[in-house]
Amino acid sequence: MSLLRPEARAALIRWRETLTGLATVALGAWWMTGPRGLLFWVGAVVVLAGAALAVTGTLRARFRAVSGGAGVVEVVEGQLAYFGPDHGGVIDLGAITALWRVPGGWRIEAGQAQPLLVPLGATGGEALFDACTRLPGFSSAAMLRAQQMQRDLPHRVWARPDGPRDAPRMPGVGRNGAGDTAGDGAGAGAPGALTSRAGPSTTSRN
């Protein structure tokens, strides 16, 4: 029987990198202030490494704030993959041209390839966050802000300098990972409203 409440255990798991980084900083600081400063420089390196881990862990923890989405996100050998109950696909990280926040999730574009739709809160979603931080000129803060947005129109989070700039006409992303084609009354080409109904993946392309 666990001595921790489920909420406390979930919080520890969510903030694990941050806590590890802070513990590393404390260890490095202790070494720096040790007898005669014999481990001063080693401690300084450990402090810097711990601080970097704490910052990265905090960003990942904030991204994990949304959970419960269907499917699994993975990054393997330079490829971003999403596997859901009714939708999935694989995109080369080097081929990504744009990232959009759409109703219910994310839309990752890679030139003429089929866009990849990833629901918010999908298992392993931090892998998407980590992968995007490798993109040139990408802003982690912009992605975190976009995750909290409550809007019915697509929002471009990032695009390559020579990539597409216009908002695509697209469906939203249902919690099962499939495109949602239900209209929201905003007119032709507007994204659909978020839904949890099952159905095949559909992505409108013009």
Q: Are residues 125 and 44 in the same domain?
A: no
Across 33-37, 151-155, 182-186, least confident range = 182-186
* 3-state SS, one letter per residue, for the chain: CCCCCHHHHHHHHHCHHHHHHHHHHHHHHHHHCCHHHCCHHHHHHHHHHHHHHHHHHHHHHHHCCCCCCCCEEEEECCEEEEECCCCEEEEEHHHCCEEEEECCEEEEECCCCCCEEEECCCECCHHHHHHHCCCCCCCHHHHHHHHCCCCCCCEEEEECCCCCCCCCCCCEECCCCCEECCCCCCCCCCCCCCCCCCCCCCCCCC
Range of the domain at 17: 6-63
**Would the pLDDT of 105 be above 70?**
yes
Residue 192 within a domain: no
90: nearest Cα among 104, 71, 106, 74: 74
pLDDT for the residue 177: 52
**Would the pLDDT of 187 be above 80?**
no
Q: Are residues 54 and 128 in the same domain?
A: no
Q: Are residues 144 and 81 in the same domain?
A: yes
Number of domains composing the chain: 2
pTM across the whole model: 0.61
Residue 190 within a domain: no
Q: Are residues 81 and 111 in the same domain?
A: yes
Q: Are residues 54 and 102 in the same domain?
A: no
More confident residue, 136 or 70: 136
Among the candidates 63, 88, 106, a domain finishes at: 63
Residue 122 within a domain: yes
Q: Are residues 50 and 91 in the same domain?
A: no
Residue 195 within a domain: no
Mean pLDDT of 85-103: 88
Q: Are residues 78 and 147 in the same domain?
A: yes
pLDDT for the residue 201: 34
Across 25-29, 40-44, 173-177, least confident range = 173-177
Residue 96 within a domain: yes
Q: Are residues 81 and 152 in the same domain?
A: yes
121-174 pLDDT, tens digit each: 888 888 888 888 888 888 888 888 888 777 777 888 899 876 555 555 555 555
Residue written as token pair 């994204």: 191
Contact at 8 Å (CB) between 135 and 80?
A: no
Q: Are residues 142 and 102 in the same domain?
A: yes
Average pLDDT of the residues of the chain: 74
Q: Are residues 107 and 40 in the same domain?
A: no
pLDDT for the residue 2: 59
Residue 172 within a domain: no
Residue 51 within a domain: yes
Share of the chain above pLDDT 70, in %: 69
Q: Are residues 78 and 129 in the same domain?
A: yes
Q: Are residues 97 and 140 in the same domain?
A: yes
